Structures are given as C-alpha cells and as structure tokens.
A and B are shown apart, each in its own frame.
Chain A
C-alpha cells in the first residue's frame, strides 16, 4: 500500500511551548487514520502543519508525493480539511459558501455547479442548500464543513475533531458520513479525535501525548498490547476465595465489593471460575477496551 502521507521528525514550538516534539509516521492510501490524544497533545498542530496552514520548525513531510513547503499549492489542491470550528461564512447560504470556496480552486461555471451539487449529495445536505450557514444546527453545519472540504474532490480528507460538541445521534450521523466516504469512495481519511470508540473504527491509530507518539498500531493491536481483559467476581465468602486465589498466585484487587482479576485473555477466566465455582454469586468477564488501552498508554485519565 502506498504511503500517501509521510512525516519525518516533525517539530514545532510556539515561543517556548514545544507543541510537537519530533514525531514520525506514515498513513496508507485509502485508509482511515486516527490521531488520538488528550487536548493539548499536539494533534491539531500536526494537522495544521500538514494542511499547509502552519510552518514546521523542523522535519520533512510528503503529502501524496509532494514536498510540503515547496509544493504547497499542489498539496492544497489534493487535500480537503475540516477544522474544529466551522470556518464558512455565516450569512451566506450553504450553496453560496460551497460555490465561493470551490471557486478558490479555480472551478468555474458548469464544473463548479456540478462540484457543489456532488458535494451536497455526498453529505446529504441537498434540501438545505438555500439556508444560511449560520442558521444550520451543529450537525448540519459540520456536514456542510465536510461538503466544503470535498468540493474540489481531494484525495485526502483531514478532519480535526469532527464530532466534538455534537449530540450522540448527530455524532453517529457525521461519523457514518465519514466512514462511507472512506469505504465507498476509497478516500484517505486522516482525523483527530478524543473519542475512543471512534478511534476503534480506524484502520490505524496513533496515540499522541505531550507532543510525542506514545503508541501506534491497529485498534486490535493497541487493545492487545495496552489493555488487559479482566474478570470481576461477586463471591459469598471473600476470605475463602482470596485464599484459593493466593494459593495459585493470582493477583487481584477489590473494586466496589467485587474482586477484580487481570487476565492475559478472556479464556483464562475459565480455570479461575472453576476454581471458585461454589463460592460465586455472579461474575463478569470484560475484554479490554480502547479506553483501557488509552489509559494504559498515557497513564492518565482523559484531560478535558
């Protein structure tokens, strides 16, 4: 698979704050690529640099084979970006906004009309084409932002926290739009998020914390390496069970009156269950989630 984005030794500081400290990665063509990290980790800075908005202090970046800093104009034509806050004109209608931004890419007349109609179709905003952008709801606005990013049919779509601040249903709708674009159109999608379940849908995840890459891999790999499965037991005689477990050198902790045992995998719960079968009131086997993986990697709760 071709590497559509290549980042090598990227560094960026704002005065004395070092936002991005030497990160390198690549993204494969046609994949959904997620940048996961707490607020202030350097995600947006990295996206802003790849989108040619900020200049990197150091590092080499190739976007679709084009060198950032030298072929910026061509890069701008092959990428589309959705930033955290909607950056369209509030007083103009959805259609006018798309026409205006489309014309910045040199689209004119018939070609422009077609591109706008196609972009509206993709995000399902046809019915609202004549409504001012400022009067749209949060989810509609976000879909309009995505349409704007798609108006010049880019190869790569960047989304900086596309679902932040949306209610759960809208979030799902926006997310489905993004997945459709990637799965059906074969578009490379690069997004930042701090929602675990979104990162879990990605093909490849990079966890970034404090300006550095803390971990990377597929969601499954991350779960496997950084999140552990566990067994929760409610027992009648706690003393007896703990003695049995201690005998077998099984480590456990007490959480909310239940015993929590870390497992290498879910299947290893079976012998333990058999061991304590007669004492068990109820039990629960949990497989590691992305949340656990994230906590395992960064060693801290999500910062908000």
Chain B
C-alpha cells in the first residue's frame, strides 16, 4: 500500500494543473480578501481600533479549512483518472488487494491535503506578518497543526464518500467546481456567519469543515484579539458574528463538541464510503 500511495503522490504532484485547480478556491479567497473583503471587514469593526491583524487571522483560519477540503478533493482526481482511463484494470491485475488500492488512494489524499494545507499555512503566516501582524506562538502552531490534521481527516472521509459515486472525469470536475464555489459560503468565509440568515447559519453549523474553521479561528485569533480594545461585554457577540464560537440557541458550543464533530463525521463518512464502495463491487 505504501508503494501505491507513493505512486499516487507522484502522479498528483507531477500534474501542475491539478495542483493549481485544487488550490483555485484558495487563490480566489485570497484574491477577494486582498482586493476588497479585507478592507470591508476591517473598517466594519473600526470602532475597536485596528482590526487588521484580527481579520487577517480570521480569513487565514477559514482559508486553511477550505484548502483542506479542496486539496483532498483534488487528490482524489488521481483515483477518478484511474477509473476513467481504465488504469484500474492494470492495477486490478496486479497482486495488490482492492482494499489496499482504496487505502492507497485515501492515504495519499490525506497526505496531499496535509501537505498543501501546510504550505498554505506558511504562506498565510507570511501574509499576516507582511501586513504588520505577528507569528503564531509555538503552542498555537502545534494546536493549528493538530486541528488541521483532524479537519483533513474528516474532509478526506467526506470527499471520499462524495467521489465514491463518481467515475467520469467530467462529473468529477463539475463536482469540484460546485464544491469549490460553495465552500467559501458554507464555511462562512465570504460572509461571516453572523451576517447570514438563520436557516443558512444552520447549514454552516452542520457542515463539519466549518467546525475546523471555527477551531482554527479560535486558536489563530486569540492573541490578536487581546491586542485590540474590544470591551469585554462585546466580545462574545463579535465571536459569534465571525464564527469563532458557534451558538445553539443561547448555548456556546465550546471546543470539545467541535472536535468531536470532526472526529465522528470522519469515522461516519469512512464507514459510509466503505459501504458505498462495496455496494458497487457486488453489482
């Protein structure tokens, strides 16, 4: 399985276009933010002083969550390609079990997601520092790495389940486009969750990657929030608006439920994917 996983990584990273497209949503979000979203949000909170660093960290946290989804999805393109170009046939005639093949695709998707999200994290930090912010502390960095790992795990499962129904390249690229477009909204990045209607807020809260985004925001924005003059009583409302803390009714969710949602959704969707893959094998 290791050898096969290595092959998938090789095939993916050799395809520059695939890398570009799996990062397209990331580029679009950065572009929009640099061009105008950043200024809009920063000036929206101008009553509390210079919110630039807070908002920079806010967008970068969301960006990492989105990147983790789109890159794992891009990575599964290798599997779709193998199916549509019939390369599967050659693999099936090799002495490697189908379970190991599937495992190889999933593992490589996870690793690709981790790797590209890691690169995005470095670039995000550079961006923040370039605009006058400060580096994440080591503790925060370790926490971010942990959250990214868990989010990527959950996303890999989610995306794996989605692509298990697909076998043609055109269906896959359509799905990538749709998810790439929606993801920025569904994780509350283009618009902070607080400015969305109630029903849409629910969608955001039910979508596992949003919890990854929320956790990342919590860690990445903690220090910058201390450096601005936000009155104690205004803080919870701001955190709710920006999606740092999800509220169910009056109740703040806190860290553990989000972590649990990521973990459980990961396990659940892996289970569903295995069911979906086996269902096809019998047919």
Contact = CB atoms under 8 A, between A and B. Distances in A.
A34 to B, nearest CB: 20
Interface in B188-217: none
Most chain A beta-carbon neighbours within 10 Å: one of B6, B15, B92, B97 = B92
Given A87-B87, A91-B15, A104-B4, A51 B10 contact: no
A105 B15 CA distance: 25
A79 B95 CA distance: 10
Contacts of B50: none
B95 to A, nearest CB: 4
Nearest to A80: B93
Kindly state the interface size class of chain A when it binds its partner.
Answer: 20 to 34
A73 interface: yes
Contact of A92 (B4, B11, B86, B91): B11
Contact of A73 (B15, B87, B95): B95
B7 interface: yes
B278 interface: no
Contacts of B279: none
Interface residues of B, number: 20
Given A91-B15, A104-B4, A53 B92 contact: yes
Contacts of A85: 86
B14 to A, nearest CB: 4
Contacts, number: 59
Given A77-B95, A89-B11, A103 B86 contact: no
Given A76-B94, A103-B3, A104-B3, A87 B11 contact: no
Given A53-B89, A89-B87, A100-B3, A105 B11 contact: no
Contacts of B14: 91-92
B85 interface: yes
B3 to A, nearest CB: 4
A177 B4 CA distance: 29
Interface string A76-110: 11010101010111011000100011011110000
A242 interface: no
Interface string B5-43: 011001100110000000000000000000000000000
Nearest to A85: B86
Interface of B: 3-4, 6-7, 10-11, 14-15, 85-87, 89-97
Interface of A: 48, 51-53, 73-74, 76-77, 79, 81, 83, 85, 87-89, 91-92, 96, 100-101, 103-106, 148
28 contacts: A51-B93, A52-B92, A53-B89, A53-B92, A53-B93, A74-B95, A77-B95, A81-B90, A81-B93, A85-B86, A87-B85, A87-B86, A87-B87, A88-B87, A89-B10, A89-B11, A91-B11, A96-B10, A100-B6, A101-B90, A101-B94, A103-B3, A104-B4, A104-B94, A104-B95, A104-B96, A105-B95, A106-B95
Given A76-B94, A92-B10, 8 more contacts: A53-B92, A83-B86, A88-B90, A91-B14, A92-B11, A104-B3, A104-B95, A148-B90
